[in-house]
Amino acid sequence: QLDYFETIHAISKKINTTYELDKILDLIVTRLPEVMNLKAATIRLMEENKGDLELKAAYGLSQTYLERGPLDKELATYYLKQGEPVVILDAKTDLHTIYHKEAELEGISSILAVPVTFNEEVIGILRLLTEEVRQFSHADINFALAIAEQSGIAIQRAIDYNRLKQTCK
């Protein structure tokens, strides 16, 4: 758990010193697999005015898997958009997911998905994926939620900054 606290501190420090959205997202998806012993991580953000999820950053997954189709039809996404974390023990069979064959081909077993929020509004989804079946602990879930919440603040700040920068041009 000490690694989790150190990681929260390190990520918070880095994401709060930049307004570059890509750098913030890349840091999150590359650091979490290392700390949590994961195969991969992705961040999808809600498209403005549509509510669709758009992939913004990924680590550890093939392009084929990333292009498998939209997540919006998955039951897991429904719960995430309501602000609830979702734990999927086996992505190859779980009814919360629809891309069972793709998960099997990619070697994905378990998924922890948490909402990325800003001001209690869901602005995206952080998905953490494992190769082996894994029962995520309460510490894992709380850590992912804390990172997602910190990320939401930094993401929204970067979006607002870049919007303002464009307006001033």
Task: Output the pLDDT for position 17.
Answer: 85
Task: Say what the pLDDT of residue 2 is.
Answer: 61
Q: What mean pLDDT do residues 28-39 have?
A: 94
For residue 8, the model assigns a pLDDT of: 84
Task: Report the candidate in 68, 80, 70, 82 with the shortest Cα–Cα distance to residue 128.
Answer: 80
Name residue, tokens 């303002």: 164
| Cα–Cα distance, 91 to 25 (Å, whole number) | 24
Q: Which domains does the chain have, with CATH numbers?
A: 2-158 (3.30.450.40)
Say what percent of the chain tops pLDDT 90.
Answer: 62
Q: Do residues 111 and 91 touch, judged by C-beta distance below 8 A? A: yes
According to the model, what pLDDT value does residue 168 have? 87
pTM confidence score: 0.91
CA–CA separation, 54 vs 88, rounded Å?
A: 21
Q: Residue 20: what pLDDT?
A: 87
pLDDT of 87 above 90? yes
More confident residue, 167 or 60: 60
Higher local confidence (pLDDT), 34 or 52: 34
pLDDT band, very low/low/confident/very high, at 124 (cuts 50, 70, 90): very high
At 1 the pLDDT is 59
